A = this chain, B = another copy of it.
């Protein structure tokens, strides 16, 4: 059902603060100056598998966005598209918008399943988790994705088109903390210059540092 976007409505975001997918939404809301309420939802300890949560999102994942009338939207990148619609964070031209979406689908298919999952395993699973056996393959694929980004950034300043926008937000989220998963960014000068440009955008907010328990696990995973 069509629902007009009311810029003054307070949106509710169910999210886990250390999650890059969740932070994407927070970053754009902050940069847009939109009012929102954050409901901390610890996906690392099963909070997305409760009956109450599954009623919101049967796919059992954060973030979930809820409007004042109760309408629900899932998938972080779909939220970015909706929030950015009609703003400078998403190009108005259809071809440019398709290119931004291209990078957002790349992020979810070729980047996040490696860069983000390596980070999750390093910081949010026990030191003896059998999942740690996946790390060499995940890191190799993570570098494949970073090389594609590096090649683009050698010739372009941004992923969203001529200006910073939601494809940059989507790709920045986990790229910036790839090191947590043992994926070094040292070999990617163009990515590092882009990271600095993203950090300098108005209203930028950083992902919170991992809590001490996660930080200790990350330090042991190097």
For A77-101 the 0/1 string (1 means CB < 8 A from B) is 1110110011000010111111101
A59 within 8 A of B: yes
Asked whether, in the complex, the Cβ of B113 is within 8 Å of the Cβ of A101, the reply is no
Interface size on A, residues (CB 8 A): 41
Residue of B nearest to A82 (CB): B98
Are B113's CB and A98's CB within 8 A? Answer: no
Which of A104-112, A190-198, A212-220 is the contact stretch?
Answer: A104-112
Q: Please state if A75 and B105 are interface contacts (CB–CB under 8 Å).
A: yes
- Which residue from B81, B95, B106 sits with its C-beta under 8 Å from A98? B81
Contact A58 B108 (CB under 8 A): no
Residues of the B chain whose Cβ atoms lie less than 8 Å from the Cβ of A102 = 73-75, 78
- Picked from B101, B109, B112, the residue with its CB within 8 Å of the CB of A81 is B101
- Given A75-B105, A101-B75, the answer on whether A94 and B5 have CB atoms closer than 8 Å is yes
Check A151 for interface membership: any CB of B closer than 8 A: yes
Task: Report yes or no: A86 in contact with B94, Cβ–Cβ below 8 A.
Answer: yes
Contacts of A96 in B (CB 8 A): 1-2
How distant is A20 from chain B, measured CB to nearest CB, in Å? 13
Determine if A7 is an interface residue (Cβ-Cβ < 8 Å).
no
CA distance A109 to B113 in the complex (A): 8
Contact status B78-A99, CB under 8 Å = yes
Is the CB of A71 closer than 8 A to any CB of chain B? yes
CB distance from A74 to the nearest CB of B (A): 6
Which residues does chain B contribute within 8 Å of A2, judged by CB atoms?
91, 93, 95-96
Interface: A148 (CB within 8 A)? yes
Chain B residue nearest to A61 (CB atoms) is B110
* Interface residues in chain A, defined as those with a beta carbon under 8 Å from any beta carbon in chain B: 1-5, 58-59, 71, 73-79, 81-82, 85-86, 91, 93-99, 101-102, 104-106, 108-110, 112-113, 147-148, 151-152
18 A-B contacts (beta carbon < 8 Å)? A2-B95, A3-B93, A4-B95, A5-B94, A5-B95, A58-B148, A73-B98, A74-B106, A75-B102, A75-B106, A76-B105, A78-B101, A78-B102, A81-B101, A86-B94, A104-B105, A108-B109, A109-B109
